[in-house]
Amino acid sequence: MKTVYLCGGINGLSDEDATDWREAAKAELFNTVEFLDPMRRDYRGREMECVDEIVDGDLVDVINSDIILVNAVRPSWGTAMECFFAASMGKTIVTVCQKDSPSPWLVRHSTVIVKSFAEAFNKIEELAA
């Protein structure tokens, strides 16, 4: 079974913004893939005390994933760096970005860019088959 890393902003986001899309992915794809969710290590409010734990944990999750699901609806430094790192390892990256003209950096480092999470979930099901 393939493993999907749920890559998207956390720092400075509400519970809803940080978790709703991740929980939707888990609910939609629970029979298809396994997940690595960085929210299991929720360091919000303690980021400066836990810099190494945050970055190291996320990097290990990227390494241990087959597919990276990127929430690029809202810019995030960590998300961008995880996407770059994953691309440098040849990972499959499914990116959700609603812009008609995303950043060339995002285009280059994504395997596929879709406009909605529903499209992303369908693509992941296809890739995991």
* pLDDT tens-digit readout, 86-109: 999 999 999 999 999 999 999 999
Three-state SS for 11?
Answer: coil
How many other C-beta atoms are found inside a 10 Å radius of the C-beta of residue 49? 10
Sign of CA dihedral 58, 63, 69, 72: positive
CA–CA–CA angle 109, 113, 119 (5° rounding): 145
The secondary structure of residue 36, as a DSSP letter, is E
Mean pLDDT score of the chain? 95
Do 116 and 96 form a contact (C-beta atoms < 8 A)?
A: yes
Where residue 38 sits, what CATH number does that domain have? 3.40.50.450
pLDDT at 75: 85
Per-residue pLDDT tens over the stretch 29-78: 999 999 999 999 988 889 899 999 999 999 999 999 999 999 999 889 99
How many independent structural domains does the chain possess?
1
**Residue 38 neighbours by CB distance under 10 Å:** 21
Domain that holds residue 61: 3-128
pLDDT at 7 (0 to 100): 98
pTM score, whole prediction = 0.95
Q: Which of 105, 91, 129 is nearest to 7 (CA)?
A: 91
Q: Residue range 5-26: average pLDDT?
A: 95
Residue 123's closest CA among 62, 47, 67?
67
pLDDT for the residue 42 = 85
- CB within 8 A of 125, min separation 6: which ones? 29, 32
Q: Token pair 């997940």 is at which residue?
A: 35
